[in-house]
Amino acid sequence: MNSIIQRLIDKFQNEDTWLALGEGLLKIIAILIVAKILIKVGSIAIDNVFKIRTRSPLKTSERREETLSKLLDNVLTYVVYFISFMMILSVLTIDVKALIAGAGVVGLAVGFGAQSLVKDVISGFFIIFEDQFSVGDHVRIGQFEGTVQTIGLRTTKLKSWTGEVHILPNGSIIQVTNFSLNNSLAIIDISVACKEDIERTEKVIRDLLEKLPDQYGELIKAPELLGVQTLGPSEVVLRIVAETLPMKHAGVSRKIKSDIKQCLDEHGIEILYSKSSGSVNEPSV
């Protein structure tokens, strides 16, 4: 025991030992600094590449660009840190080859026991690769509906309009309804009294609808009055459809109702208020 302690004391009193320790410490610090620089430079390069793509005439969806940019940043960080960790182990004279071989065997064993995790990662990759939905899209996944906050390789986060955040494993995502890919359609039913002149009422409404695109930027074009939708014992229901930007139909529908109400009141046209009147297929948001 005394001989072992004496050898340790002699070793630490040796100048070469301290030089080796200092050299190893400097190498580790240099590796960490280079790793930080590579991550920083790589992130800037990724951002610049996607900025160039957004100015290209062949650019893809901005939401997809943002999702891919974040994913590539994460992948770059993991790869650089993994390589740095291996290099640090090599500096510490640890056999990296044997460690990687052992990790491969352990990883194979863990893979059989973590099939759900592998399924989540593979599903996340195909969600991003196929551009099924992107950050900022309004989607419905199963019983959950909301705006996509983040898409990771393992989970997807949805924020509902009431503020709840739903975290869904990608492997559990079977069917997705994406409301943000195409324009939305606002459908508005207006009930007027049967005694009113329908032709005059339609002309008043059409004149108003022609002016609305200048007021509301969410409208793709002027709303269209389709005509009489249903006839009741005391009312005539007129239907209006308006094409809007994705997920803007609910707000536009409310604005159009308000404008029509004010316009018909100014022209002395009576609106009937019944349980059956109002907007059709309009979400409660």
**Residues 174 and 126 sit within 8 Å (Cβ to Cβ):** no
pLDDT at 284: 38
Determine, yes or no, domain membership for 24.
yes
Give residue-wise pLDDT tens across range 63-79: 666 667 777 777 788 88
Which range of residues forms the domain containing residue 194? 184-280
DSSP E strands, the chain: 138-141, 144-151, 155-159, 165-169, 176-178, 184-193, 224-231, 235-244, 278-280
User: Where residue 244 sits, what CATH number does that domain have?
Assistant: 3.30.70.100
User: Where residue 76 sits, what CATH number does that domain have?
Assistant: 1.10.287.1260
| DSSP state for residue 171 in the 8-state scheme | G
Least confident of 17-26, 189-198, 253-262: 17-26
Residue 115 CB: number of other CB atoms within 10 A?
Answer: 10
Give residue-wise pLDDT tens across range 121-150: 788 778 877 778 888 888 999 889 888 888
Going by C-alpha positions, the residue among 73, 66, 21, 19 that lies closest to residue 46 is 73
Give residue-wise pLDDT tens across range 233-249: 888 899 999 998 888 88
Looking at the structure, tell me whether residues 36 and 88 fall in a common domain.
yes
143-149: list long-range contacts, CB under 8 Å, 24+ apart. Answer: 144/168
Give the residue-averaged pLDDT of 16-26: 75
Looking at the structure, tell me whether residues 79 and 38 fall in a common domain.
yes
Determine, yes or no, domain membership for 216.
yes
| DSSP state for residue 60 in the 8-state scheme | -
> What mean pLDDT value characterizes the chain?
79
pLDDT at 277: 36
Structure token pair of residue 185: 């359609």
pLDDT at 13: 61
DSSP states of 97-136 as a string? Answer: HHHHHHHHHHHHHHHHH-HHHHHHHHHHHHHHHTTS--TT
Determine, yes or no, domain membership for 285.
no
Q: Does 12 or 181 have the greater pLDDT score? A: 181
pLDDT at 275: 44
Going by C-alpha positions, the residue among 140, 141, 138 that lies closest to residue 149 is 138
pLDDT at 37: 92
Looking at the structure, tell me whether residues 90 and 42 fall in a common domain.
yes
Give residue-wise pLDDT tens across range 150-196: 887 788 889 988 888 999 988 888 888 888 878 888 899 988 888 88
Q: How far apart are CA 168 and CA 180, in angstroms?
A: 19
Q: Read off φ and ψ for residue 57, nearest 5 degrees.
A: -65, -15
Distances (CA, A) of 11 to 24, 26, 93, 139: 16, 20, 17, 66
pLDDT at 170: 86
Q: Residue with structure tokens 């199963």? A: 142
User: Where residue 127 sits, what CATH number does that domain have?
Assistant: 2.30.30.60
Looking at the structure, tell me whether residues 162 and 205 fall in a common domain.
no
Number of domains observed in the structure of the chain: 3
pLDDT at 60 over 60: no
Looking at the structure, tell me whether residues 56 and 145 fall in a common domain.
no
Task: Tell how strand 235-244 and strand 165-169 pair up.
Answer: unpaired
- Between 115-129 and 96-113, two packed helices, what is the crossing angle to 10 degrees? 90
> C-alpha angle 183/222/62, rounded to 5°?
30
Residue 26 CB: number of other CB atoms within 10 A?
Answer: 11
pLDDT at 278: 37
